[in-house]
């Protein structure tokens, strides 16, 4: 990427301000990758969100990037809300747009960023979907040899998701060298390329060992690959494939349609707090940079707080 340009004159900005913002998408994504060090998954999400914005923007009878104002952006947020998207999803779209227009100001394409004046939707109403321990047990036992081609792989996958609270992308990236089954832990790399150690319980270790001994050799017979979870073609199991597997087994056991790999991460955190785990410890186990991200689970786990009140309050 070329070095950052000096700020341009108002006349020069006015000239470029008449252009379509969509034409700056490629250079913006390059900026995020090279200068901000964002991951491929984050870049993909930004691209998807911005393409949706540009598609809607093209219907607004204007192509001038300088014409973006609060009225237009408020209209887009209303459009997203009409699609009944979750508040977190709407906020993610807004973050992508804010970053994009900050980049345009940074590059001297715009003089000011009106998007920063727009507030994110309130997120306090959002509570993650969490499975009960009984439903988790049913989900983890769902893969069966009579119905599924690789039940041992899928059982090991589901067990690892719940045992570690890892994201689907983190599990997709796991390799054999990341596993330390003798010591009951694995090494994973999360957002921002931050490495952390996750614990493996005995049931998960046993499930992984069974998969490694009985199914993985067949999956790896035509390819010398180091991926832990492999597809039938011999490649690594993608996060989309993991998502589909979780959805399939969730439907089989009658779980909510909203269940996804992230539901097991939410359940992992909530069940830890219900068992008395310290929130700081849960933050480290999840790989959250901020404790505020972890605190959402304290709103989900009401039973533990009620039990503490009953046990400790004089009139509990």
Q: What is the pLDDT along the chain (316 residues), one digit of tens a residue?
A: 444 444 443 333 344 445 778 889 999 999 888 877 788 888 899 999 999 998 998 888 766 777 777 778 888 888 888 888 877 788 888 889 888 988 988 888 887 777 776 665 554 445 678 899 999 999 999 999 888 999 999 999 999 999 999 999 999 999 999 999 999 999 998 877 889 999 999 999 999 999 999 999 999 987 778 999 999 988 899 999 999 999 999 999 999 888 999 999 999 998 998 888 888 998 999 988 888 778 777 766 655 556 556 777 666 5
Catalytic residue among 24, 31, 57, 297: 297
Residue 224, C-beta contacts closer than 8 angstroms, at least 6 positions apart: none
313 is catalytic: no
Q: Which CATH architecture does the domain made up of 133-312 adopt?
A: Orthogonal Bundle (1.10)
Catalytic residue among 93, 153, 155, 167: 167
265 is catalytic: yes
288 is catalytic: yes
297 is catalytic: yes
Catalytic residue among 79, 187, 288, 304: 288
- Give me the CATH code for the 21-107 domain, please: 1.10.150.130
How many angstroms separate the most distant Cα atoms in the chain?
Answer: 72
Where, residue-wise, is CATH 1.10.443.10 in the chain? 133-312
Q: Give long-range contacts, CB 8 A cutoff, 24+ apart: 117-125.
A: 117/70, 118/70, 118/73, 118/74, 118/77, 118/94, 120/90, 120/91, 120/94, 120/95, 121/77, 121/81, 121/87, 121/90, 121/91, 121/94, 122/87, 123/87, 123/88, 123/91, 125/87
H or E segment at 47? Answer: helix 40-57
262 is catalytic: yes
Overall pTM surpassing 0.85 (yes/no): no
What is the pLDDT at residue 46? 92
What is the pLDDT at residue 309? 60
What is the pLDDT at residue 7? 40
What is the pLDDT at residue 261? 93
What is the pLDDT at residue 60? 81
What is the pLDDT at residue 70? 77
- Count of helices and strands (H, E) across the chain: 16, 3
Catalytic residue among 79, 102, 138, 191: 191
What is the pLDDT at residue 115? 76
126 is catalytic: no
Taking the C-alpha atoms of residue 237 and residue 171, their distance in angstroms, rounded to an integer, is 9
H or E segment at 273? Answer: helix 261-274
* Helix/strand/coil (H/E/C) assignment for every residue in 143-194: CCCCCCCCHHHHHHHHHHHHHHCCCHHHHHCCEHHHEEHHHCEEEEECHHHC
Taking the C-alpha atoms of residue 167 and residue 25, their distance in angstroms, rounded to an integer, is 27
Catalytic residue among 47, 92, 138, 262: 262
Lookup: tokens for 93: 């779209």
Strands 185-189 and 179-180: antiparallel
Where, residue-wise, is CATH 1.10.150.130 in the chain? 21-107
What is the pLDDT at residue 120? 58
Catalytic residue among 93, 152, 155, 265: 265
Taking the C-alpha atoms of residue 52 and residue 16, their distance in angstroms, rounded to an integer, is 22
What is the pLDDT at residue 126? 55
């Amino acid at each position: 990427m070329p070095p950052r340009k000096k700020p341009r004159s108002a006349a020069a900005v006015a000239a470029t301000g008449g252009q379509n913002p969509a034409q700056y998408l490629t250079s913006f994504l390059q900026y995020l990758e090279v200068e901000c060090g964002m991951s491929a998954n984050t870049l993909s999400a930004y691209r998807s969100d911005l393409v949706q914005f540009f598609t809607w923007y093209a219907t607004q009878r204007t192509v001038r990037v300088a014409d973006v104002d609060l009225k237009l952006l408020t209209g887009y947020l209303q459009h997203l809300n009409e699609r009944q998207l979750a508040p977190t999803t709407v906020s993610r779209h807004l973050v992508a747009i804010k970053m994009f227009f900050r980049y345009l100001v940074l590059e001297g394409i715009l003089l000011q960023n009106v998007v920063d004046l727009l507030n994110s939707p309130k997120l306090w109403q959002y509570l993650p979907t969490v499975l009960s321990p009984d439903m988790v047990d049913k989900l983890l036992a769902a893969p069966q040899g009579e119905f599924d081609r690789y039940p041992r792989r899928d059982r090991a996958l589901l067990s690892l998701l719940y045992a570690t609270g890892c994201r689907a992308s983190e599990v997709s990236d796991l390799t054999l060298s990341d596993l330390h089954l003798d010591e009951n832990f694995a090494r994973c790399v999360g957002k921002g390329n931050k490495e952390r150690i996750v614990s493996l319980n005995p049931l998960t270790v046993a499930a992984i060992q069974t998969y490694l001994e009985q199914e993985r050799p067949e999956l790896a017979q035509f390819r010398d690959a180091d991926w832990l979870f492999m597809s039938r073609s011999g490649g690594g199991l993608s996060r989309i494939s993991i998502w589909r597997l979780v959805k399939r087994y969730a439907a089989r056991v009658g779980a909510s349609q909203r269940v996804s790999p992230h539901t097991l991460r939410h359940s992992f955190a909530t069940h830890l707090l219900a068992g008395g785990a310290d929130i700081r410890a849960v933050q480290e186990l999840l790989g959250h940079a901020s404790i505020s991200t972890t605190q959402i689970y304290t709103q989900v786990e009401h039973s533990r707080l009620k039990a503490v009140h009953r046990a400790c309050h004089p009139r509990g």
